[in-house]
Structure 1
Amino acid sequence: MSVQMIIVPLLFSICIATLSLGCQVKQHIEGESFICVCNEEHCDSISTEPNSLDDHLTIFQTDKSSHRLAKSLIHVNDLITDSGEIADIHVLINATDRKQQIIGFGGAFTDATGININKLPDSLADKLIEDYFGPNGLQYTVCRVVIGGSDFSDRPYSYDDVENDFELKHFSLVNDDYQYKIKYIRKALNLTSDLKLFGSSWSPPTWLKTSGKFNGLGILKDEPGSIYWKTYANYLVKFLQAYEALGINFWGLTPENEPNVGLNPGWRWNALGFTGSMMRDFIKKDLGPALKAAGYDKEKLKMMIYDDNLSNLNYFINGIVNDPEAAQYVSGIAYHWYTRKYHEALSEAHYAHPEYFLLSTEACEGFRSTEAHLTLGNWTRAENIAADVIEGLNNWSNGWVDWNLVLDENGGPNWAGNWVDAFIFVNDSAPEYYKQPMFYAFGHFSKFLRPGSTRVGHSISAGMVDENVKITTFLSPSNDLIFTLLNRNQKSIKLSIAGFDEKPFLFTFEPRSITTIIKPLK
């Protein structure tokens, strides 16, 4: 294990141990930072068990220049007490101010994910799954599963393309399920027995839609309560039952991925349109009763509404959660990150409807047509991920789920040409895969904010307000205080932190870095 000395300016020197098995660094001319290469001969692992001694702080650091979840220990006696020295920011943690609990963090099992993992030798494919789900990986606990096809498939398809099969006699899982999803879901479950899976559908069979095709503007034919709407509800139930028959149980369901885009005539890939009122009526007349009749009540299956961008969230959900007939089936609110702002909409939803949890269910970089879809070693994208997670958590989100677990070097495959970036991508010309800076940045949340962790209050008591600095604070189920900070500045910043120990202490956070500080509370 490689060991480095880092001198923390004006404070103390600490010994930082890098990854348990070090990163095999690959630089690229387009990258701000580096990626870590995994092949059959070498792949880094992450050993991040925090120290259990209550007189030490455990620190993990990921930065643009050199570190990936590097671990260090500091004895409380070595902390520099804030004796009036000027700090850039003064933070006060209130561990008695308890807020929401974490459900979990994870990514999505898509066809593209399985297609790419299948390119690897079996041993390396297993290592990749361990990187996401194993104890020396990101330890994912919540994952999305695409119901049928999405744009991240090699073609558009459904589970029943037989016209007017309202009894769904021809409903059947396809080879894509077995080879690209189920195969790897089972491997993940072997590593994480309490993995929470939720399903999301992009489009029903085309014969149920007004458009008669998978993409573009299209809604369900007829009206809520009709045979078309009930057939789609039963279609979703049959999916849950088909996976359950294979030993894979679902924790949650969203009725439709991004219902707003199915009202867009120019939408290029799989979609189904719903307004908020249409979704309300679908849930109370069709989907809710169908799920309940099949044994999927709220105790067994968490229905999450919306599953779209933050900008329209409250307008869409209010009619559903304010209707008792629909609301009785709903457990949570799902949202996506693509507007990159409006996090205050989450707080608005929480304060208006505190009985529903909030979960970020899709995010990816490289989605804009004006930017490179996939760039090697992009540190700014790692910062974007960390910033969005922190903003969501500080506005009552209970977790965050990434999009494709794995893509190829083009950001696909994607039948509609909607290529994007991913935390891991596979080399198409050699048996190896690469872990982007985003992978390690996200580990600061997925590894340390375990299910049941509780957000606690913190405030800026003095100093500057800096939009390049994001902070969130949590208490773990084992009573560890967890402080996570993103510093996007090109310079280091000095914080005075009160709440970890009897007295405030000074700590310097490196430029372009993500840092987690953990201390057991007495």
Structure 2
Amino acid sequence: MTDLSVSRRAALGLIGATAVAPVAARAAETPALPGALWFSTQADAPWQKQSVPVLAEVSKGSLFGTDATINIANPRQTMAGFGACFNELGWVALSHLSPADRHTAMATLFAPDQAAFTLCRTPVGANDFARRWYSYDETPGDFDLKSFSTANDLQTLIPYIKAAQGFNPDLKLWASPWSPPGWMKKNGFYAMARPWPGTPETGIRNDQTGHEGEDAFIQEDRYFDAYARYFRRYVEDYARAGITIGTVMPQNEFNSAQPYASCTWTPQGLARFLPFLGREMDKVGARVFFGTLERGKVEMLDAVLADPKAAAVIKGVGVQWDGKRALPQIARQYPQMDIWATEWECGTSANDWHYARYGWANLRRYIEFGASAWDYWNAILPTGGLSPWGWPQNSLIVVDPVTKSWRLTPDYWLMRHLSAYVKPGARALSVDSFLGFDDNIAFRNPDDSVVLIANNALGQKQKVRYALGGKALALELPADSLNTIVLPAGALG
């Protein structure tokens, strides 16, 4: 989008604007449905307001009167919410803005009339988008956790979350660590791999590197017990700050030995730890999910659930990256298990329309296979999106520290197409078509409003006629567009 003028980009909401003027009204050749909404996004025109035509009756006995059917009668999974991750570098980026601009930027993510995020992630200690490595207790052998402290988070993560709560007091949060304290690991170090070529040195020795399929955490009960209490202390400290952590997962990407904070576990190692974690989380009212699973291997989940004590703890599974290949098997083998999409694939800081289109296909796959939550990765990053460990990544908002300005990325608009109107408690609806008009997902909210997200990947307009509840909705989707249509409660009769 570099060819757009600054004024044009501001008008489109690609820099720090919070509202987008609707396109000029169409000729009133078709009556509009009262109370209905339609927003359409193209590469250079996000969130354009369209008119929703009135619903027609579906001709009885007609097999070919519609292109796709929204299955109202058989709702599927109940949605928990949409959101992103609070990372330290996001708050650092926001600190470059004026208080007014910071407030406006956060509103685009959390205000109820904008993206309206409802379920977000936060790290337990440092992750790869922290300012630096830290844990809450780096005192070797401190099994009593006398040195435990979350004071670091008072500078970054806690005010970041509190700012979001100012827009949504009911915001739900879950958390996972990237690494335990170094002294709880066999290598005594936060990272598990040598730095990538051309990236900063960390001080890790060759003999401290680890590998997938190994337990890097020390497999002794006293370490499991101390680490479980470490989680509890974290949840308690955040509760004292007015932040409820409702769900935890024991390890981010437990198979991945990384040059930043990481810790590999085997499924058997996690199964040994989970009863300790479950005991402590019961004391603070937090649920435990298995994950995050970043490999397409359902047998890893199978192995943990085969242990009765571990299985009793697990309330759901978090899936990200290549874990999406396991979604069909998880959905088939464990139809009652909550599946959360825990991290958007990170990108390379290009923040372009092409990657948002890839994100749509990814997101749709998760929803179709039963995911009830979807969390983006970095909500906010500075220009370049570079981590301290050398990986530039995408974000929903980009802050320019030099000009002290900010802009919304195409990924933001994709997230908003779902999060703005699909409410917690909504039921996913299947959209069926034997004619190939299947690039859609739909939901029915607790208030009975219906939300359809319809994609048109063609380079030309596409007419699609949807059947739902005995009615027909005829739309002409703009070329190369993503569309959100909201039908108010009562529209179906």
Whether these two folds match at TM > 0.5 is: yes
Q: Partners in 2 of 1:364 and 1:186 — Cα distance? A: 26
Q: Partners in 1 of 2:462 and 2:53 — Cα distance? A: 19
Which of 265, 271, 288 is equivalent to 1:303? 288
Q: 1:71 to 1:431 in 2, by over 3 A?
A: farther
Structure 1 residue 60 displacement after superposition: 1.6
Q: Which secondary structure does the structure 2 equivalent of 1:191 belong to?
A: coil
Q: Which secondary structure does the structure 1 equivalent of 2:451 belong to?
A: strand
Which residue identity lines up with residue 39 of structure 2 in the other structure?
Answer: F
Q: Partners in 2 of 1:291 and 1:142 — Cα distance? A: 19
Residues 33-63 of structure 1: per-residue CA shift (max 9 Å, x gap): 976111xxxx223799xxxx97664322111
Structure 1 residue 411 displacement after superposition: 0.6
Q: Partners in 1 of 2:452 and 2:20 — Cα distance? A: 19
Q: Partners in 2 of 1:380 and 1:424 — Cα distance? A: 17
Which residue identity lines up with residue 408 of structure 2 in the other structure?
Answer: K
- Equivalent residue, structure 1, for 2:466: 497
Which of 172, 178, 192 is equivalent to 1:196? 172
Which residue identity lines up with residue 388 of structure 1 in the other structure?
Answer: N
Q: Are 1:246 and 2:229 counterparts? A: no
Q: Are 1:289 and 2:267 counterparts? A: no
Which of 335, 347, 355 is equivalent to 1:381? 355
- Equivalent residue, structure 1, for 2:145: 168
Which residue identity lines up with residue 243 of structure 1 in the other structure?
Answer: Y
Tell me if the contact between 1:24 and 1:37 (Cα under 8 Å) persists in the aligned partners. no
Tell me if the contact between 2:72 and 2:469 (Cα under 8 Å) persists in the aligned partners. no
Residues 408-458 of structure 1: per-residue CA shift (max 9 Å, x gap): 11113x221122011111012112101011111111110111101101232
More strand by share: 1
Q: 1:94 to 1:221 in 2, by over 3 A?
A: closer
Q: Are 1:359 and 2:335 counterparts? A: no
State TM-score, norm by structure 1. 0.81
The answer for unaligned runs of 5 or more in structure 2 is 1-5, 23-31, 193-208
- Equivalent residue, structure 1, for 2:118: 141
Q: Partners in 2 of 1:398 and 1:318 — Cα distance? A: 20
State TM-score, norm by structure 2. 0.86
Q: Partners in 1 of 2:479 and 2:331 — Cα distance? A: 34
- Equivalent residue, structure 1, for 2:205: none
Q: 1:497 to 1:241 in 2, by over 3 A?
A: same
- Equivalent residue, structure 1, for 2:391: 418
Tell me if the contact between 1:82 and 1:506 (Cα under 8 Å) persists in the aligned partners. no
Q: Partners in 1 of 2:48 and 2:368 — Cα distance? A: 22
Q: 1:80 to 1:505 in 2, by over 3 A?
A: farther
Q: Partners in 1 of 2:96 and 2:59 — Cα distance? A: 54
The answer for unaligned runs of 5 or more in structure 1 is 1-22, 28-32, 367-372
Structure 1 residue 84 displacement after superposition: 8.8
Structure 1 residue 390 displacement after superposition: 1.5
Tell me if the contact between 2:120 and 2:171 (Cα under 8 Å) persists in the aligned partners. yes
Q: 1:47 to 1:291 in 2, by over 3 A?
A: farther
Q: Partners in 2 of 1:381 and 1:511 — Cα distance? A: 17
- Equivalent residue, structure 1, for 2:316: 332
Residues 288-311 of structure 1: per-residue CA shift (max 9 Å, x gap): 22323xx13xxx312111213251
Which of 449, 457, 465 is equivalent to 1:480? 449
Q: Are 1:93 and 2:74 counterparts? A: no
Which residue identity lines up with residue 514 of structure 1 in the other structure?
Answer: L
Q: Which secondary structure does the structure 1 equivalent of 2:303 belong to?
A: helix
Structure 1 residue 81 displacement after superposition: 8.6
Structure 1 residue 341 displacement after superposition: 5.3
Tell me if the contact between 2:250 and 2:290 (Cα under 8 Å) persists in the aligned partners. yes
- Identical amino acids, percent of aligned pairs: 23
Q: Partners in 1 of 2:173 and 2:118 — Cα distance? A: 9
| Cα RMSD (Å) | 2.8
Q: Which secondary structure does the structure 1 equivalent of 2:272 belong to?
A: helix
Q: Partners in 2 of 1:80 and 1:268 — Cα distance? A: 58
Tell me if the contact between 1:102 and 1:454 (Cα under 8 Å) persists in the aligned partners. yes
Which of 15, 32, 36 is equivalent to 2:14? 36
Which residue identity lines up with residue 178 of structure 1 in the other structure?
Answer: L
Aligned length: 456
Q: Partners in 2 of 1:46 and 1:332 — Cα distance? A: 38
Q: Partners in 1 of 2:280 and 2:259 — Cα distance? A: 30
